[in-house]
Structure 1
Amino acid sequence: MNASAHRRGFYRSVWRWHFYAGLLVMPLLLVLALTGAVYLFHDEIEDTAHASLRFAPQRSAELPLSRLIAAARAAYPGEVTRIDVPADPRRTAQVFVTPQRGEPLRVFVDPGSARVHGAFVYTHTLVGFADTVHGSLMLGRVGDALVELAACWALLLIATGAYLWWPRGRDWRAALWPDWHARGRGFWRSLHASVGAWTAALIVFLILTGLPWAGVWGDLLRAGLQPLGLGYPAEHRHHAAAAPRVGQAVSDAPWTLRDAPLPTSHAHHHHGNSAGARDIGIDAVARTLAARGLRADYRLSLPRGSDGVYTAVVYPDRPQGQRTVHVDRYTGAVAGDTGFADYGLGAKAVELGVQLHMGRYFGRANQVVMLLPCIGIVVLSLSGAWMWWRRRPRGRLGAPPAPAPARLRTVAAIALGCGLLFPLLGASLLLVYALDRLLIARVPRWAAFVH
């Protein structure tokens, strides 16, 4: 085979993989882009949709947290698991209540008067629905794996798209701008290519900064950072291996500390046995936190189990202000106090990327910049789907023609290389290759697609 024929064969292979990647992940990418765009503006949306819940008359003094919890529990009976203390004097506190029946509630209470403004189920709101769908498609661990798989295949989609787009001697201006004079598929192809060229880098950034929250890749990344001293601080590692993790007991814990061992409360130190021990109460915990400089703008999770601890999390827009403080429920002693400065270099990079990903780090400009790749994904998905629909033969899948069959050794090497970085991608590459060679190539017509 001469060099020219080899290049043509390689080009057709890349085109075919680009086609399959788009076909597999386009619906999921659309969902992720739309829900991500909603979540970028979550505060603005919730302030508009739930203003009567989220805002209270400006106050000069605040009631003890126990009063706010008692008011929330009186209006909505159930177990209180967390309270979010606002820094803004115009905002209500949020009390998280799990009723005996029904879904968990977020109850909004005026910190100055303890008046309950109302409650909602987070997942029943627009922002809550978008948040849950964006992370797991509302399918739990299975949905989380599907989202991770779509993100990994999107990286392959971008890599193959960049190869197909590369001008190769053509005018660069024509490659970067749509051909507004073209008609039909020619216009859509130029639009697809130019939008991809302008948004690819931002889309890759969104994917790479979102993957740490994925189940498989995120867990592997945290596990890989720890032995290198790049994850959570070393002082957490003396806890027993069987100790519960911070992420299991604290909702919305920082990414870095999700797998860190959770400290425990020790009733026997001062009370002899846990049966006679008494919880110091949330107001004493609030005083302990205030002595440590935490007076507002933190999320305080209540203890779970007899040896659980109170955990306050400060999670500001800029990760440099992150802080997690654990307080012994019986003694009031601080069982752990970890800030951003204590994180390893890898964890710091991830936390910075997460805040940029969510559009929080530099205000409205950050939101707008992150909105651009979301719009790009929508345009790329719809234009790609339209081109496929128009070009496919009636009743057929319409995949680009296959070149000479690639050697299994080559495919295995590519899948292994991808699998080392993104395990789900490597495994799915082998699966798609097998389906392509063993099933799709043997079925001449896809009558089930369209008639």
Structure 2
Amino acid sequence: MSVEPAVRTPGDPQEGGRPDPPGTRSVWAPLRPLVRRLHFYAGVLIAPFLLVAATTGLLYAASYQVEKIVYAEELRVPVGGSELPVSRQVTAAREAHPEGEVAAVRPSPEDGATTRVLLSGVPGVDPDHTLAVFVDPYTGEVTGALEQYGSTGALPLRTWIDELHRDLQLGQPGRLYSELAASWLWVTA
């Protein structure tokens, strides 16, 4: 004699002899298609943003080291005997680039590094940026000039990566897309 397990179907009497009450379906059952569709569209909107944000964030994290390599001619000089006074270094920078006003001076932070003389109001340079003139602190020779952004001294490469991370190099529409995608991130999560 074999004993087969009993299989219940909705509406069959329970062990106590009563059938399931009507309307015992989950409250979420009617909402499930809506939530899935919302999740799908939010994912389509956000997935490209997450991919770009993660990639550019990784690039930005490495940009400090890459900047030292790319701009080595401007940032590094052979170590000399003694450094010139900062006033002479600023004079050398002003002779090479008389345009604009001196906004700040960042003296050589370590042996073999150049001094940055920051000029603001330089024609052809973004008004939010400064022109960084790099001066050899031992000889007073100008080793180069690059556009610089922000208080961290971001040079063109890091500035480009930062703008790609912030607004996908698309300006205001890219910033709005990034903000929209970031605000929908909690929905997909």
SS of structure 1 residue aligned to 2:106: strand
The 1:14–1:63 alpha-carbon spacing in structure 2 relative to 1, beyond 3 Å, is: farther
CA contact (8 A) 2:134 2:142 kept: yes
Pairing partner for 1:126 from 127, 136, 157: 157
Equivalent-residue separation in structure 2 for 1:81 and 1:21 (angstroms): 45
Partner of 1:92: 114
SS in structure 2 at match of 1:41: helix
* Counterpart position of 2:131: 105
Residue 28 of structure 1 corresponds to which residue in structure 2?
49
2:184 to 153, 159, 164: 153
CA distance 1:52–1:33, change in 2 (3 Å): same
In structure 2, distance between residues paired with 1:144 and 1:77: 36
Give the residue type in structure 1 aligned to 2:156. T
Instruction: Note closer, same or farther for the CA distance 1:17–1:51 as it changes in structure 2 (3 Å cut).
Output: same
Residues 122, 131 of structure 2: 8 Å contact kept: no
Indicate the structure with greater helix content: 1
Q: Partner residue of 2:143?
A: 117
Contact 1:107–1:116 under 8 Å retained in 2: yes
**For the residues of structure 2 that align with 1:91 and 1:7, how far apart are their CA atoms?**
64
Deviations 1:162-218 (A, max 9, x none): xxxxxxxxxxxxxxxxxxxxxxxxxxxxxxxxxxxxxxxxxxxxxxxxxxxxxxxxx
SS at match of 1:40: helix
**1:14-68 CA deviation, whole Å, 9 max, x = no partner?**
3222222222233333332222211101221111111111111224543333222
Matches within 5 A, 1:170-209: none
Deviation at 1:86, TM superposition (A): 3.9
Look up the SS of the partner of 1:101 in the other structure. Answer: coil
Q: Secondary structure of the residue that 1:96 maps to in structure 2?
A: strand
Q: Distance in 2 between matches of 1:107 and 1:29?
A: 37
Taking structure 1 as reference, are residues 30 and 121 closer, same or farther at Cα in structure 2, changes over 3 Å only?
A: farther
Check whether the contact 2:106–2:116 (CA below 8 A) recurs between aligned residues: yes
User: Which residue does the alignment assign to 1:12?
Assistant: 33
Q: What code does the residue aligned with 2:112 have?
A: R
- 2:160 and 2:69 map into 1 onto residues whose CA distance is 16
Matches within 5 A, 1:276-355: none
Is residue 39–residue 131 contact of structure 1 (8 Å, CA) maintained in 2? yes
**Who is 1:82 aligned against?**
104
Q: Which runs of 5+ in 1 are unaligned?
A: 160-451
- The answer for unaligned runs of 5 or more in structure 2 is 1-22, 150-154
- CA positional deviation for 1:130: 0.5
Could you tell me which residue of structure 2 aligns to residue 66 of structure 1?
87
Alignment check: 8 A CA contact 1:122 1:129 kept: no
Identity rate, percent: 36
- The CA distance in 1 between the partners of 2:82 and 2:30, in whole Å, is 73
* Aligned residue in 1 for 2:71: 50
Normalising to structure 2: TM-score of the pair? Answer: 0.67
> Cα–Cα, structure 1 residues 39 and 81, in superposed 2: closer, same or farther, change >3 Å?
same
Q: In terms of Rg, which structure is larger?
A: 2
Distance 1:76 1:112 in 2: 19
